[in-house]
Every structure is written in structure tokens, then in C-alpha cells.
């Protein structure tokens, strides 16, 4: 009842708590594969170890990312970073059998799936896991990724969210279709521009009613979409002041969408570099950065903006004086970079690097490392800092990308979590058995029940 | 005792454990401890049945020897996703995955995804295309593509990744499509997962595209002859697996009295454990394997494990369950090299594209 009041209020109320999720696995320079401690990225044991460690640390959720075409660099698959990962839902179904509580979040694309099929598979994962499944909703608009699919993939950029929203609403209707836990299911029809669905759903509601919805878009359209549809937004704003601003913005959008100020939770992407003392943590950070951005990665990073081979340049020397061969940067396909005016950018970067006295490698490290999303320091200092986020409700939690697999969560679980628990800002047990319960989310109201209640009132 | 062929294997369909995790674990562990070589997971669209591939994946980490073989449709699915999902199943089961490639022919399956219904020979064409896409994608990373070479900073050797450039063939009855590749997951542990198809898809699906064929007959006494017919069509290198519904005398009830509603089209055996043992011992002289569809999963698995499998083993009719073995090992298949590994002519991903 109090939950209900809280969610419908137009005034945001901080929960006073933060939670953790783990994001596995980044197909980018963030994951170190060169250290002696770097384990397999594909063996099931790595996944099991991370998920079970996270569960020991009472993490709310284990996330898997998705990329449906391998990133390319100068026309060939990008060779320098970790690459190759499993189908998210298949892996999560397997992890469901070796974990008991942790939420299982699958990143899945609305552009290359059918609503009825994806909704059925997510409902399957939700049931098999006893109500622990979530869907991190992503959209793609490029024909380049579509080359791997029957349907192709080109969507007008502006239409992405329109189609995604129709998709998500259809999925919700499918999950809502069983009137009681024993059925019967009602038929779901959707006639849209991109999707046509006519299905009698086959699965009942799960212990958490239906999968929890995560969303990661950051544009105004993305934020509005999250405000209307999502339970949790996986944001890109972990820095304190940015996080506070983002919360304010999202609360406004969520209230405007009629869902109340507390309806959408926020978990920014983050990285933790921790040690017993600040000095040790700083030293560790140097080591982490040196392995994340090696000499070849630094050169490759510039190559994607210069559009040409730069392998003869010294990574420890200044930025290339030679100009880019392209007008627009071609981007590493699939990595999310967007095109920019190449020559202008090169001039700007050369000036910046010269100004700060940075070598290629130092400059690229400053551009690519998760500067804004990294928490570096002693266990106690970082715990104090995170407690401040909890106090003001800047975020509901952090989605942690470990830089080492499979041991990258060990110090967080062994040292940071107890410090946070001592400060009263982190759970000391799982609140229930479902992800919705861990996050303190309200049980959704079935669309038809809502309509019936409105008629009675 | 079988005379001319090696001992056979037994698979069991685990339908009946629909979506609850605890039920699924109990069913697959019961099948494994009963001594079955393989468990299959139907994906026919009926209420209260979770996605077959996810049920198989859930079973992966809790089992050790039993092969896990889901049905996955080829007609209304995305071949790229299917390939990735099956490769992932191979990882989570440590090389014990297989694939029963099916072709959904119900109009409801088409309506669910807003496509026109595929019928007749076009079903087999869809299956053949999807199998080919998966097989190419499974080969698209050579085995040693992940090199982790610190000196050169390369995690992978891009020369060992390959575009697959699949295109549906001329004369393809459905909506043609192409798949670029490479896969987004490294090569499966088995290299290639064993692919099984119902015999009804043979023809459009060439025998050399699959590793095993599932054979049905309208009655038990016709099954051995049907197996011989299919064997004659596919040759000795493809496993022939007979399909059999089973209801046993159990818990003090005659099989005839137990309520067994089979979905038709398959031969059925109803009777005593001893009778079934004799029947299977004979059938396994013709078939490489038999897949049993128990009338009641938990009741019949218990009886099978207690009375039938031990006796078949004693008679030498069953091959051993190999600890740490793959599904390919069970079927007597070598681990194949990637089709791209030795083909210097095949362009590595990116070269000249």
C-alpha cells in the first residue's frame, strides 16, 4: 500500500538505498584480456563464477549485453578487444539453474525480433527462473546489422522508438493475456507498420507477473520512451551532479507520462577500481588503464577517425600530423560512435593533446576510459561517496562493468558491500524471490483489470 | 545380442516438465540417472510449455552426461538467432547439445509473426536453408581464432573469422534472404552440433546436411521396416532413430488401464517392462537409437530406469554413457574441421569486400 502511494506520487522520494547490477560482458576496451588473471570469455564457468559472486554480494541483477554483428575496423572485424559472446537468453536460462535470487537481464533488440516470439521466450525465462527475468530493450536502425537477418534491418532513425514502443506494448499485452494464473489466454492482435501479430499466448504470468523492463536510451526520445514504458533506466550518468540532474529530468518525464515520480528507477553504468588505501587504488588504476588501452588500441582508435592506417606512428609520440582521408569519420561499425567532421576533429584533438602534453596513448586513454563512470579509491571513501547518492536519491543503483573476468567483482563483494551495509545503504538480504521484489517495484496492473477498475469507479 | 552393428542409444522426450525450474531439473536428472543417452525437448505450441531451447539450457549446468536436444523451428525463426542460441547451448552443456530442426506447418505459427503460411515442399526448403546458415555460422570462427596475443595486441586473428555470405538458392519458394556473418559467438565446442530432422523433411533437406533422422511408423510392428526403408535412403553414416510412444504397467496398474493419450502418428508400445525390453532389443538391431515418448514422464521414467535400461545394458544392446563425452561422440561422429579452415580460396572476413 505504501509502495503504491510512493509510486503514484508526483514528488520523488529517495529510497535511501542503492543496489548493484553486473554488466557482463563488454565487447570494448574496458575488459582486460592481457593480464595473467584474465579468464575465458566463453567458458560457462566464467559466467557461473561472476553470477554466483554477484549473488553472494546480494546484487539485484546480472546483465548480458548483445551485439548482432561483430564490430569492424577499417573494413574487417575489430581484432584488439574482447569479442564473441553467447545468446543472452540461452546463457541466462542456464544460469537460472545455478543461482537462486539474482535477476537475469537479457539485452534484446526490437528491430531483429518478432514481438510474439521474443515475448514468449522472455516469458519462458521468467517462468524457468521463478520470476527473475528482465528485458533490456534496445533498438537498432542500420541495414549493416540487418545483413544478418531475414527481415533486413533498416529503420528510419526517427522511427526507432515508435516501432520499439509498439513492440513493447504488444509484448506487455502478450504477458497480460492470461486472465487468471490458470488461463485461459485471450488472443492478442496487433496490426502495425512493421509488426503484425495474431497470437494466443501460451504461458501464464510468472511469480513477478511479467519480466521487468530496462531501457538504455539517452536521447530525449529515449528518455521519454523509458518514462512511459520502463521499470529501470540503465543510464550513462553516474557522476554525482549529472546523476542528480538526470534524476530530476526523468522524474519530470515520468510524472508527465502519468506514472508518478517514483515509477522509473535509475542504474548508471559504472566501473570500480578499489583498494584498501587511496594510494593503492590510484596505482591499480594506472595498471588497469595501461592494459585497457594498449599501444595498438590507441592507434586503432585514431584510425577510425582518420579513416586510414596509422600503424607507423609511435603510440608514445604526438598525434599524427597527417590529415584524415575522410570528410566524415567512418566510425568503428557497431561500436556506437557517430560520425563527425573528421578534419575539424583532428585539428581540435591535436591542439588538445599538445596543450596537455599527451602522447597518442595518453590522449586516447583520456578519451576512451570510463572517466566519468569510474569510482576509484579506498573501500571506505568510495562507500562514503555512494552513501551520498543513496541519501539524496541520485540513483537507485549502479550497473557495474567488471574490468577483469571472472574475478572482477571479488573486491566489491568482499569489501565494498560490507562497508555499504554498515552505512545502512545496501540490502542485507534479498527482499523476496523475484527481481521485481529485489528492486521494490510495484506489481503491474493488468491492462484489462485497470479498465474494469475504472468502470467500477 | 546385436550382431552386425554397434550397440544403440536411447533418448527420452521430456515433455511433461513444462516450465517450472524445479520440475525441469527433476525430470532431466531422473532421465540421466535412469541411464538415457539423450533428452529431447519438444517445442510444439501448446499451453504451459516454455521455449524448448531454454529448457535445455536450464538443464545444461545440472547434468553431466546426457545430451540435450531441443526442437527449434526453421520456418518462422531468424536463422542467425537460431545458430547463436544453439552454439550457446553447446557452451552451457559443455558439448552435449544437438538440434532437432523442425518446420512449423500450423497457420497459427505464421500468424503469430505476421507471415504468410508456408506449406508443402517449401517447409523442407526453409529447413534446409536454416540448417545451412547455422552450419556456416558455426564454422565462421575457426577453432583457434581467439589468440590473445599480447605482443601484437590482438585478441583474435581476423584471418580466422569468415563472412558466410549465405543466400537462399534460386527456386526458393518462400521469401528469399541472405545472412552475412560471421557469427557473434566463437565456434561451438563440438565444432558442429549434431542436427536431427524428422524423416518427413528428407528430400528438400539432403541427407548429408544432417546427422540423424527421426523415423515414425503408424504401429509398433511396422517400425523396424520403416527404419530399414529410411536406412536404405540415407546410408550407413546417418543415424536412424525410431520414435516410440510408451506406456508401461506401473504402480500396480496395467498399461492398458493407464490413461495414455498420445498425439497420434507414432508407433506405441503398451505393456510390461519385460515386453518393452525385448521389443527395444530387437528394434536396436535395426535402428541406431530409439526415442521414447513416455505417457507419464515421471511414472514411466522411473519404471524404465528400474527395469528396462539395466536389462538392455546387460544384453549389450546399449552403448555406454561416456563421462565427459559430447553428443557427437555418442553418435560416433568425428569433430569436423571448419569448412573455412583449409579453404585458402574462401575470403577471410573483410578481405576484398
pLDDT tens string A12-56? 999 999 999 999 877 788 899 999 999 999 999 999 999 999 999
The grid coordinates of residue A250 equal 526523468
Distance CA A349, CA B26 (A): 61
Portion 76-95 of A in contact with B at CB < 8 A: 76-77, 79-87, 89-91, 93-95
pLDDT above 50 (res A2):
no
Confidence of residue A181 (pLDDT cuts 50, 70, 90): confident
Give, in degrees to the nearest 5, the angle at Cα B53 between B51 and B58: 95
Portion 97-136 of B in contact with A at CB < 8 A: 108, 111-114
CB half-sphere exposure, B171, CA atoms < 13 A: 5
Instruction: Note the pLDDT of residue A74.
Output: 82
Q: CB-based contacts of A399: which residues, under 8 Å, 6+ apart?
A: A20, A21, A22, A23, A61, A63, A234, A267, A268, A269, A270
Helix (H) or strand (E) holding B68: strand B67-73
**Residue B308 CA: distances (Å) to CA of A118, B37, B76, B215, B288:** 40, 14, 39, 22, 17
- The whole-angstrom distance between B211's CA and the closest CA on chain A is 23
Q: Which of B156, B165, B174, B176 to mutate to test the interface with A (most CBs of A within 10 A)?
A: B156
Instruction: Note the pLDDT of residue B22.
Output: 92
pLDDT above 60 (res B346):
no
Asked whether B104 and B140 are in contact (CB, 8 A), the reply is no
Per the listing, cell 510412444 goes with B245
Q: Which of A37, A64, A72, A84 to mutate to test the interface with B (most CBs of B within 10 A)?
A: A84
Asked whether A360 and A319 are in contact (CB, 8 A), the reply is yes
B150 to chain A: which residues are within 8 Å by CB?
A: 34
pLDDT above 50 (res A385):
yes
The grid coordinates of residue B262 equal 498420445
The number of residues in chain A equals 457
Give how many domains chain B has, as a whole number: 1
Instruction: Note the pLDDT of residue B143.
Output: 96
CB contact under 8 Å between B50 and A96, yes or no, is: no
Instruction: Note the pLDDT of residue A453.
Output: 57
> Does a structural domain hold residue B183?
no
pLDDT above 80 (res A446):
no
Distance CA B142, CA B84 (A): 15
**Residue B37 CA: distances (Å) to CA of B56, B305, B329:** 14, 12, 11
A296 to chain B: which residues are within 8 Å by CB?
A: 152-154
- The whole-angstrom distance between B34's CA and the closest CA on chain A is 21
> Does a structural domain hold residue B29?
yes
The grid coordinates of residue A83 equal 569479442
Distance CA A292, CA A33 (A): 8
Instruction: Note the pLDDT of residue A306.
Output: 87
Per the listing, cell 527449434 goes with B72
Portion 360-379 of A in contact with B at CB < 8 A: none
Averaged pLDDT score across all residues of chain A: 90
Distance CA A262, CA A231 (A): 10
CB contact under 8 Å between A97 and B351, yes or no, is: no
Portion 236-265 of B in contact with A at CB < 8 A: none
Distance CA A391, CA B269 (A): 68
Portion 240-279 of A in contact with B at CB < 8 A: none
- Tell me whether A133 touches chain B (CB under 8 Å): no
The beta-carbon neighbor of B156 closest among A79, A95, A123 is A79
Which of A69-73, A215-219, B122-126, B263-267 has the largest mean confidence?
B122-126
- Tell me whether B24 touches chain A (CB under 8 Å): yes
Indicate the burial class of A162 (C-beta count within 10 angstroms; 0-12, 13-18, 19 or more). Answer: middle
pLDDT above 80 (res B162):
yes
The structure's pTM equals 0.94
Helix (H) or strand (E) holding B133: helix B121-139
Closest by CA position to B189, among listed B91, B93, B272, B276:
B91
CB contact under 8 Å between B58 and A128, yes or no, is: yes
pLDDT above 60 (res A326):
yes
A68 to chain B: which residues are within 8 Å by CB?
A: 80, 184
- Domain around B234: 9-73+211-321
Asked whether B28 and B63 are in contact (CB, 8 A), the reply is yes
Give a three-class secondary structure readout of chain A: CHHHHHHHCCCCCCCCCCEEEEEECCCCCCCCCCCCCCCCCCCHHHHHHHHHHHHHCCCCEEEECCCCCCCEECCEECCCCCCCCCCHHHHHHHHHCCCCCCEEEEEEECCCCCHHHHHHHHHHHHHHCCCCEEEEEECCCCHHHHCCCCCCCCCCHHHHHHHHHHHHHHHHHHHCCECCCCCCECCEEEECCCCEEEECCCCCCECCECCEEEECCCCHHHHHHHHHHCCEECCCCCCHHHHHHHHHHHHHHHHHCCCCCCCCEECCEEEEEEECCHHHHHHHHHHHHHHHCCHHHHHHHHHHHHCCCCCCCCCCCCCCCCCCCCCECCCCECCCCCCCEHHHHHHHHHHHHHHHCCCHHHHHHHHHCCHHHEEEEEHHHHHHHHHHHHHHCCCCEEEECCCCCCCCCHHHHHHHHHHHHHCCCCCCCCCCCCHHHHHCCCCCCCHHHHHHHHHHC
- The whole-angstrom distance between B289's CA and the closest CA on chain A is 27
What is the arithmetic mean of pLDDT over A167-196? Answer: 88
Instruction: Note the pLDDT of residue B2.
Output: 39
3-state SS class at B253:
strand
- Tell me whether B353 touches chain A (CB under 8 Å): yes
| pLDDT single digits (tens) B63-108 | 999 999 999 999 999 999 999 999 999 999 999 999 999 999 999 9
Averaged pLDDT score across all residues of chain B: 93
- The whole-angstrom distance between A422's CA and the closest CA on chain B is 35
Quick count: other Cβ atoms within 10 Å of Cβ A338? 7
Instruction: Note the pLDDT of residue B16.
Output: 83
Instruction: Note the pLDDT of residue A455.
Output: 52
How far apart are the two ends of chain A, measured CA to CA in Å? 18
The beta-carbon neighbor of A127 closest among B19, B57, B88 is B19
Portion 64-83 of B in contact with A at CB < 8 A: 76-81
The beta-carbon neighbor of A75 closest among B77, B180, B350 is B350
Confidence of residue B307 (pLDDT cuts 50, 70, 90): very high
Q: Which residue has the higher pLDDT, A331 or B165?
A: B165
Q: Which residue has the higher pLDDT, A330 or A4?
A: A330
Asked whether A71 and A334 are in contact (CB, 8 A), the reply is yes
pLDDT above 50 (res A334):
no
Distance CA B223, CA B238 (A): 17
Distance CA A376, CA B176 (A): 53
CB contact under 8 Å between B51 and A120, yes or no, is: yes
Instruction: Note the pLDDT of residue A451.
Output: 56
Instruction: Note the pLDDT of residue B1.
Output: 39
**What percent of chain B has pLDDT above 70?**
93
The beta-carbon neighbor of B84 closest among A87, A124, A200 is A87
Closest by CA position to B87, among listed B195, B238, B13, B214:
B195
A128 to chain B: which residues are within 8 Å by CB?
A: 19-21, 24, 50, 54-55, 58
Size of interface A-B (CB pairs under 8 A): 194
Distance CA B303, CA B317 (A): 18
Q: CB-based contacts of B223: which residues, under 8 Å, 6+ apart?
A: B215, B217, B242, B244, B267, B283
CB contact under 8 Å between A197 and B114, yes or no, is: yes
Give a three-class secondary structure readout of A258-272: CCCCCCCEECCEEEE
Closest by CA position to B330, among listed B89, B134, B36:
B36
B53 to chain A: which residues are within 8 Å by CB?
A: 90, 93
| pLDDT single digits (tens) A414-437 | 999 999 999 999 999 999 999 999
The beta-carbon neighbor of B50 closest among A75, A127, A130 is A127
* Domains of chain A from N-terminus onward: 2-276+371-456 (3.20.20.30), 294-368 (no CATH)
CB contact under 8 Å between A112 and B178, yes or no, is: no
The domain that contains B314 carries what CATH number?
3.20.20.30
> Does a structural domain hold residue B181?
no
CB contact under 8 Å between B57 and A199, yes or no, is: no
Lowest mean pLDDT among A192-201, A368-377, B208-217: A368-377
User: What is the signed CA dihedral for B137, B140, B146, B147, rounded to 10 degrees?
Assistant: 180
Asked whether B52 and B70 are in contact (CB, 8 A), the reply is yes
Q: Which of A33, A78, A148 to mutate to test the interface with B (most CBs of B within 10 A)?
A: A148
Confidence of residue A5 (pLDDT cuts 50, 70, 90): very low
B155 to chain A: which residues are within 8 Å by CB?
A: 33, 79-83
Instruction: Note the pLDDT of residue B150.
Output: 93
What is the arithmetic mean of pLDDT over B238-265? Answer: 84
Distance CA A184, CA A204 (A): 9
> Does a structural domain hold residue B241?
yes
Distance CA A41, CA B146 (A): 10
pLDDT above 80 (res A339):
no
CB contact under 8 Å between A97 and B349, yes or no, is: no
CB contact under 8 Å between B180 and A128, yes or no, is: no
Portion 183-242 of A in contact with B at CB < 8 A: 183, 185, 195-200, 202-204
Instruction: Note the pLDDT of residue B349.
Output: 62
CB contact under 8 Å between A128 and B24, yes or no, is: yes
Instruction: Note the pLDDT of residue A457.
Output: 46
A69 to chain B: which residues are within 8 Å by CB?
A: 180, 184
A295 to chain B: which residues are within 8 Å by CB?
A: 153
Q: Maximum CA pair distance of chain B?
A: 72
Confidence of residue A335 (pLDDT cuts 50, 70, 90): very low
pLDDT above 60 (res B353):
no
Q: Which residue has the higher pLDDT, A365 or B336?
A: B336
| pLDDT single digits (tens) B9-39 | 999 999 988 789 999 999 999 999 999 999 9
Instruction: Note the pLDDT of residue B255.
Output: 84
Instruction: Note the pLDDT of residue B54.
Output: 98
The beta-carbon neighbor of A94 closest among B45, B61, B155 is B61
Distance CA A221, CA A232 (A): 16
Per the listing, cell 527475468 goes with A133
Closest by CA position to A151, among listed A162, A140, A161:
A140
Confidence of residue A452 (pLDDT cuts 50, 70, 90): low
Q: Which residues pair with A391 in a beta bridge?
A: none
- Tell me whether A149 touches chain B (CB under 8 Å): yes
Distance CA B118, CA B99 (A): 21
Distance CA B139, CA A145 (A): 20
CB contact under 8 Å between A93 and B353, yes or no, is: no
> Does a structural domain hold residue B200?
no
CB contact under 8 Å between A150 and B78, yes or no, is: yes
What is the arithmetic mean of pLDDT over A313-338? Answer: 72
| pLDDT single digits (tens) A228-273 | 999 999 999 999 999 999 999 999 999 999 999 999 999 999 999 9
pLDDT above 80 (res A380):
yes
**Residue A273 CA: distances (Å) to CA of A53, A353, A375, A400, B236:** 17, 26, 6, 11, 59
The beta-carbon neighbor of B54 closest among A44, A70, A124 is A124
CB contact under 8 Å between A149 and B80, yes or no, is: yes
Torsional sign, CA B283, B289, B295, B300 = positive
CB contact under 8 Å between A114 and B94, yes or no, is: no
Q: CB-based contacts of B97: which residues, under 8 Å, 6+ apart?
A: B56, B60, B67, B68, B69, B86, B89, B90, B188, B190, B193, B327
Q: CB-based contacts of B199: which residues, under 8 Å, 6+ apart?
A: B213, B214, B215, B216, B230
Lowest mean pLDDT among A104-108, B241-245, B264-268, B305-309: B264-268
Confidence of residue A157 (pLDDT cuts 50, 70, 90): confident
How far apart are the two ends of chain B, measured CA to CA in Å? 58
Nearest residue in B to A189, CA atom: B112
CB contact under 8 Å between B153 and A80, yes or no, is: yes
The beta-carbon neighbor of A196 closest among B114, B148, B154 is B114
Per the listing, cell 529485489 goes with A438
Amino acid at each position: 500500500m505504501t509502495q503504491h502511494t510512493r509510486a503514484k506520487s508526483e514528488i520523488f522520494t529517495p529510497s535511501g538505498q542503492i543496489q548493484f547490477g553486473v554488466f557482463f560482458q563488454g565487447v570494448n576496451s574496458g575488459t582486460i584480456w592481457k593480464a595473467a588473471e584474465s579468464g575465458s570469455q566463453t567458458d560457462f564457468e566464467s559466467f557461473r563464477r561472476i553470477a554466483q559472486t554477484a549473488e553472494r554480494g546480494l546484487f539485484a541483477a546480472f546483465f548480458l549485453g548483445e551485439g548482432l554483428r561483430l564490430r569492424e575496423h577499417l573494413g574487417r572485424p575489430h581484432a584488439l578487444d574482447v569479442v564473441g559472446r553467447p545468446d543472452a537468453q540461452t546463457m541466462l536460462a542456464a544460469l537460472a539453474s545455478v543461482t537462486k535470487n539474482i535477476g537475469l537481464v537479457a539485452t534484446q533488440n526490437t528491430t531483429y525480433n518478432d514481438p510474439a516470439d521474443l515475448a514468449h521466450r522472455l516469458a519462458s525465462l521468467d517462468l524457468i527462473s521463478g520470476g527473475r527475468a528482465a528485458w533490456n530493450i534496445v533498438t537498432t536502425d542500420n541495414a549493416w546489422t540487418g545483413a544478418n537477418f531475414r527481415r533486413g534491418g533498416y529503420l528510419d532513425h526517427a522511427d526507432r522508438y515508435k516501432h520499439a514502443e509498439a513492440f513493447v506494448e504488444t509484448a506487455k499485452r502478450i504477458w497480460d493475456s492470461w486472465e487468471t494464473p490458470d488461463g485461459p489466454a485471450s488472443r492478442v492482435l496487433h496490426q502495425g507498420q512493421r509488426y503484425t501479430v495474431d497470437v494466443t499466448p501460451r504461458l501464464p504470468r510468472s511469480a513477478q507477473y511479467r519480466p521487468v523492463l530496462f531501457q538504455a536510451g539517452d536521447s530525449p526520445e529515449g528518455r521519454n520512451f523509458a518514462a512511459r514504458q520502463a521499470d529501470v533506466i540503465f543510464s550513462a550518468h553516474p557522476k554525482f551532479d549529472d546523476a542528480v540532474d538526470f534524476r530530476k529530468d526523468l522524474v519530470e518525464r515520468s510524472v508527465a507520462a502519468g506514472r508518478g515520480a517514483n515509477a522509473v528507477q535509475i542504474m548508471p553504468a559504472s566501473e570500480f577500481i578499489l583498494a584498501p588505501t587511496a594510494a593503492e587504488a590510484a596505482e591499480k588504476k594506472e595498471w588497469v588503464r595501461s592494459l585497457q588501452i594498449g599501444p595498438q588500441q590507441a592507434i586503432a582508435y585514431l584510425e577510425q577517425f582518420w579513416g586510414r592506417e596509422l600503424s607507423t606512428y609511435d603510440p608514445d609520440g604526438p598525434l599524427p600530423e597527417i590529415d584524415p582521408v575522410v570528410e566524415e569519420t567512418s566510425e568503428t561499425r557497431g561500436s556506437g560512435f557517430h560520425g563527425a567532421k573528421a578534419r575539424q576533429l583532428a585539428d581540435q584533438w591535436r591542439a588538445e593533446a599538445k596543450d596537455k602534453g599527451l602522447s597518442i596513448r595518453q590522449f586516447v586513454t583520456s578519451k576512451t576510459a570510463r572517466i566519468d563512470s569510474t569510482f576509484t579509491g579506498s573501500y571506505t571513501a568510495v562507500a562514503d561517496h555512494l552513501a551520498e547518492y543513496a541519501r539524496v536519491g541520485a540513483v537507485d543503483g549502479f550497473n557495474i562493468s567488471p574490468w577483469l573476468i571472472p574475478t572482477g567483482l571479488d573486491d566489491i563483494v568482499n569489501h565494498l558491500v560490507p562497508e555499504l551495509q554498515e552505512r545502512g545503504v545496501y540490502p542485507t538480504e534479498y527482499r523476496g524471490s523475484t527481481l521485481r521484489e529485489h528492486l521494490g517495484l510495484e506489481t503491474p496492473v493488468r491492462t484489462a483489470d485497470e479498465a474494469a477498475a475504472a468502470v467500477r469507479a | 545380442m546385436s550382431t552386425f552393428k554397434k550397440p544403440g542409444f536411447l533418448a527420452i522426450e521430456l515433455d511433461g516438465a513444462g516450465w517450472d525450474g524445479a520440475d525441469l531439473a527433476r525430470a532431466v536428472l531422473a532421465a540421466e540417472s535412469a541411464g538415457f543417452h539423450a533428452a529431447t525437448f519438444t517445442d510444439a505450441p501448446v499451453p504451459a510449455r516454455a521455449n524448448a531451447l531454454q529448457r535445455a539450457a536450464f538443464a545444461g549446468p545440472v547434468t553431466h552426461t546426457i545430451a540435450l536436444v531441443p526442437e527449434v523451428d526453421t520456418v518462422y525463426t531468424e536463422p542467425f538467432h537460431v545458430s547463436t542460441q544453439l552454439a550457446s547451448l553447446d557452451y552451457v552443456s559443455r558439448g552435449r547439445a544437438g538440434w532437432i530442426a523442425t518446420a512449423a506447418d500450423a497457420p497459427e505459427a505464421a500468424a503469430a509473426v505476421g507471415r504468410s503460411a508456408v506449406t508443402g515442399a517449401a517447409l523442407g526448403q526453409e529447413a534446409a536453408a536454416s540448417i545451412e546458415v547455422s552450419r556456416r555460422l558455426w564454422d565462421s570462427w575457426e577453432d583457434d581464432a581467439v589468440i590473445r596475443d599480447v605482443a601484437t595486441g590482438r585478441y583474435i586473428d581476423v584471418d580466422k573469422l569468415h563472412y558466410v555470405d549465405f543466400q537462399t538458392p534460386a527456386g526458393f519458394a518462400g521469401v528469399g534472404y541472405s545472412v552475412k556473418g560471421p557469427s557473434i559467438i566463437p565456434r561451438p565446442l563440438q565444432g558442429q552440433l549434431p542436427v536431427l530432422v524428422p524423416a518427413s523433411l528428407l528430400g528438400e533437406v539432403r541427407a548429408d546436411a544432417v546427422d540423424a533422422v527421426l523415423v515414425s511408423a503408424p504401429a509398433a510392428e511396422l517400425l523396424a521396416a520403416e527404419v530399414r526403408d529410411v536406412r536404405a535412403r540415407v546410408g550407413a553414416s546417418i543415424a536412424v532413430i525410431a520414435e516410440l510412444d510408451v506406456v508401461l504397467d506401473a504402480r500396480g496398474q496395467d498399461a492398458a488401464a493407464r490413461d495414455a493419450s498420445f498425439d497420434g502418428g507414432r508407433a506405441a508400445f503398451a505393456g510390461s517392462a519385460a515386453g518393452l525390453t525385448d521389443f527395444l532389443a530387437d528394434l536396436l538391431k535395426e535402428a541406431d537409437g530409439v526415442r521414447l515418448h513416455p505417457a507419464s514422464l515421471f511414472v514411466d521414467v522411473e519404471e524404465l530406469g528400474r527395469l528396462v535400461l539395466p536389462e538392455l545394458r546387460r544384453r549389450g544392446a546399449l552403448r555406454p554413457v561416456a563421462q565427459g563425452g559430447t553428443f557427437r561422440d555418442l553418435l560416433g561422429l568425428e569433430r569436423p574441421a571448419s569448412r573455412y579452415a583449409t579453404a585458402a580460396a574462401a575470403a577471410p572476413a573483410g578481405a576484398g569486400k
